[in-house]
Structure 1
Amino acid sequence: MRNTRGRPGRLVSASQDGHDYEAWVPDPLPPTVDFDSEMATRLADAAGSLGELAGTGRNLANPHLLLQPFLRREAVLSSRIEGTQATIADLYAFEAAQMPLPGLGSDTQVANGDGDVREVLNYVDALNRGLAVVADEYPVTLRLLEDLHRDLMRNVRGRDRRPGEFRSTQNIIGPTGATLESATYIPPPVVQMQDALRDLETYIRDDTSTLHRLVRLGLIHYQFEAIHPFNDGNGRVGRLLISLLLVYWKLLPIPLLYLSAYFETHRGEYYDRLRGVTERGEWREWIMFFLLGVAEQAVDAAQRAKRLQDLRQELQDRAYAAKAPAGAVALAGRLVEQPVVTIRSAEQVLGVSYHNARRQIHRLVDIGILQPFPHRGQRELYVAREVLDAVGE
């Protein structure tokens, strides 16, 4: 075993298929973190920005209307870090065009869609599942992580790599085609992985820690990625875990903060900081980076929430001022939640006939609130581009 002095873990010797190698096993959390004045200031900034966002969330008149665009933006960006190319417009268009028809289940429709968009849609489903669990104040457990992973891998690439199950063999991190000899990082072997997961679950549920929960959140994210317990999808599950713990620990009343935009923008530094912890024990640098992301994204989320709330009212006011029918005004108010619509979806939202829904959509097109959305499917799609721009990527 090579010297690992100063590093938060140990290297263990292992063998697989006749190949000997060394794998990294992180120490149980928490590490010793010496806070200096700069770190204390960074934590105060992050906690303050998050507190302001929490206040925004509590004051929203209809939070559900804003949760869906925030959640979908996170799904697109988190999946993009893993290599998907789908956009927020692709996701909304796919959902609108794939609305289940009478007698057909949603699984039948989704299975025929584009692969990248299905991966993003799976992320939406997994996040919704997790949020429903923590909303009922059930704890975040290893079983929940397996359930989330199963949702993520449903009918997409990786579906043949034990979805919903922790790995039973060694995995590696490295460029395409990397081997045990050329890997950039080798996570814990299976036995040590299982021990590390149990320790992580214990730490997540530990109510006695004196560390600020935002700092704990950064530690937990590193630890999960270092353990790398699944054959595929570890990054997405790790980012899901951040969102769930923010709500479970009541740091936010509703899930408005997501860090994938920050990690995507600073992707190189993100990986460098994680690697710095493993290779040099640089907890301080990682925590500073993580807290800056919390602060920046909290400010962005508060501004984006206000813009979407104002835009919802603006769209309704424009429809009303144009003397649009009540149905068109009501539909304008739902575009923040569902900015790509079909006549069939408008029919269901408004509770009117197909022909009535068609008239309401065409009135919003005349006003300029909706525009036809070109796509390959058979259904006509209409998009509120102002909403897509406000959701942003």
Structure 2
Amino acid sequence: MPAPHQPPFTITPRIVSQVAEICERVGSWSNRGSEGISPRLRKENRIRTIQASLAIENNTLSIDQVTAILEGKRVLGSPREIQEVRNAIDCYDRFGNWQPTSVEDFLAAHKIMMRALVDEAGSFRRGGVGIYRGDQLVHMAPPAGRVEHLVQDLFGWAATTEHHPLIASSILHYEIEFIHPFADGNGRMGRLWQSLALASWHAELAYLPVESLISERQTDYYAALGESDRRADASPFVEFMLATIHDALAELPATDQVTDQVTDQVTDQVKMLAGCISDTEEVTAAELMKRLDLKHKPSFRQSYLLPALAAGWVEMTDPASPRSPAQRYRLTKRALRRKR
């Protein structure tokens, strides 16, 4: 009887520490069920996720354009890029129908994700494939004849592993990229499938915009994949993904500020922040801290900025890149109405 499949990875001290920190944050949601993140924030994060995951694959549509497609509006743009967005929306809407350890579901998801984009949608590749960065070959995927067996082994491991879901989902993501099971769409499928695995562990993680940070850190993302390939050990990629998940969690509003009720019961800090911004201004976080005479950035974010964003009083000028050095904040129409 053959030995069970075991993806190559090492549990490093950094991985142990990262898992503990993430679990501490997620633990604050344990008694709030699926209502912890407001419907509005879920929608915004889902849009950010779809836009960012496709942007990594060179789709040029903006947050506003993705929002318009989601709302059924007409959008000017490349027909292929619009189709990519529609497919991704359909996939993320089906989270509740799929299991992350089902090969059948994996193929069904690829069929939707690549619908009308490639002839082989929903089928494993039939030929060899190499991954290039410019003119340089950075990864030669396993032969096509081994793909189905490798995927079945991987999903069998994922179904039985006793490793923490944060670790297992990251390894699942890495191995999908390593196997490269499809002729096209492997990157977006790897990210989708890790999100699905995370959501199977904790439902609210389905709305965590991890892809937005990956999009901002593409160089590091590919470097982590490459280093894991070089070492034949997934740990560098696992460490990268855990750090990204941690940072995405840190960008969510504080737990007592996430629900819809907050929008009608804003804090004094939110009112003070809004009062520092004129009707037509776009202001940096540093400038807002200066106007509020605040020195401690974490306190500013948790008590002022994140609640103001969650309450719908302040919005980002570039929501697709929340950590951009050029990021600015302005009053929303809701806040302007309240001021009048």
Q: TM-score, normalised by structure 2?
A: 0.69
Offset at residue 64 of structure 1 (A):
4.1
Which structure 2 residues correspond to residues 165-204 of structure 1 after superposition, within 5 A? 165-175=123-133, 183-204=137-158
Given candidates 18, 35, 45, the residue that maps to 1:70 is 45
Q: Distance in 2 between matches of 1:89 and 1:311?
A: 25
Q: Distance in 2 between matches of 1:264 and 1:190?
A: 29
Given candidates 217, 228, 242, the residue that maps to 1:277 is 228
Contact 2:174 2:234 in 1 (8 A): no
The answer to whether 1:240 aligns with 2:192 is: yes
Q: Distance in 2 between matches of 1:214 and 1:254?
A: 11
Could you say what secondary structure the match of 2:226 adopts?
helix
Contact 1:54 1:253 in 2 (8 A): no
Contact 2:38 2:259 in 1 (8 A): no
Residue type of the alignment partner of 2:182: F
Query: Which residue of the partner structure matches residue 119 of structure 1?
Result: 84
Contact 2:111 2:122 in 1 (8 A): yes
Could you say what secondary structure the match of 1:184 adopts?
strand
Given candidates 97, 101, 107, the residue that maps to 1:133 is 97
In our comparison, the structure showing a higher alpha carbon Rg is: 1
Residue type of the alignment partner of 2:112: D
The answer to whether 1:42 aligns with 2:18 is: yes
Q: Distance in 2 between matches of 1:153 and 1:126?
A: 10
Offset at residue 188 of structure 1 (A):
0.6
For these two proteins, the number of residue pairs brought into alignment is 272
Q: Distance in 2 between matches of 1:262 and 1:391?
A: 13
Which structure 2 residues correspond to residues 49-64 of structure 1 after superposition, within 5 A? 49-52=25-28, 58-60=34-36, 63-64=38-39
Query: Which residue of the partner structure matches residue 228 of structure 1?
Result: 180
| Residues 95 and 265 of structure 1: CA distance in aligned 2, closer, same or farther (over 3 Å) | closer
Contact 2:91 2:109 in 1 (8 A): yes
The answer to whether 1:92 aligns with 2:67 is: yes
Q: Distance in 2 between matches of 1:308 and 1:63?
A: 5
| Residues 271 and 32 of structure 1: CA distance in aligned 2, closer, same or farther (over 3 Å) | closer
Query: Which residue of the partner structure matches residue 211 of structure 1?
Result: 163
Which structure 2 residues correspond to residues 1-393 of structure 1 after superposition, within 5 A? 28-31=5-8, 33-36=10-13, 38-52=14-28, 58-60=34-36, 63-96=38-71, 98=73, 114-129=79-94, 131-134=95-98, 138=99, 140-155=101-116, 159-175=117-133, 183-206=137-160, 209-248=161-200, 250-253=201-204, 255-303=206-254, 306=257, 309=260, 312-313=263-264, 389=316, 392-393=319-320
Offset at residue 185 of structure 1 (A):
1.4
Residue type of the alignment partner of 2:91: A
Offset at residue 125 of structure 1 (A):
0.6
Could you say what secondary structure the match of 1:174 adopts?
strand
Q: Distance in 2 between matches of 1:114 and 1:33?
A: 43
Offset at residue 31 of structure 1 (A):
2.9
Contact 2:60 2:81 in 1 (8 A): yes
Listed one character per residue, the Cα deviations across residues 299-351 of structure 1 (whole Å, up to 9, x for unaligned) are: 21345994683675479xxxxxxxxxxxxxxxxxxxxxxxxxxxxxxxxxxxx
| Residues 243 and 283 of structure 1: CA distance in aligned 2, closer, same or farther (over 3 Å) | closer
Contact 1:94 1:113 in 2 (8 A): no
| Residues 261 and 231 of structure 1: CA distance in aligned 2, closer, same or farther (over 3 Å) | same
Q: Distance in 2 between matches of 1:390 and 1:140?
A: 39
Q: Distance in 2 between matches of 1:388 and 1:288?
A: 31
Offset at residue 286 of structure 1 (A):
2.5
Moved more, 115-124 or 80-89: 115-124
Residue type of the alignment partner of 1:202: G
| Residues 230 and 200 of structure 1: CA distance in aligned 2, closer, same or farther (over 3 Å) | same
Listed one character per residue, the Cα deviations across residues 172-197 of structure 1 (whole Å, up to 9, x for unaligned) are: 21146x6xxx5321101012222211
**Which gives a bigger RCO, structure 1 or 2 (Cα 8 Å, sep 6+)?**
1
| Residues 152 and 225 of structure 1: CA distance in aligned 2, closer, same or farther (over 3 Å) | same
Offset at residue 79 of structure 1 (A):
0.4
Could you say what secondary structure the match of 1:183 adopts?
strand
Could you say what secondary structure the match of 1:173 adopts?
strand
Listed one character per residue, the Cα deviations across residues 68-123 of structure 1 (whole Å, up to 9, x for unaligned) are: 22212100000000001111111222344538xxxxxxxxxx99974323312211
| Residues 289 and 254 of structure 1: CA distance in aligned 2, closer, same or farther (over 3 Å) | closer
Q: Distance in 1 between matches of 2:31 and 2:47?
A: 22
Residue type of the alignment partner of 2:154: L
Could you say what secondary structure the match of 1:33 adopts?
coil
| Residues 280 and 48 of structure 1: CA distance in aligned 2, closer, same or farther (over 3 Å) | same
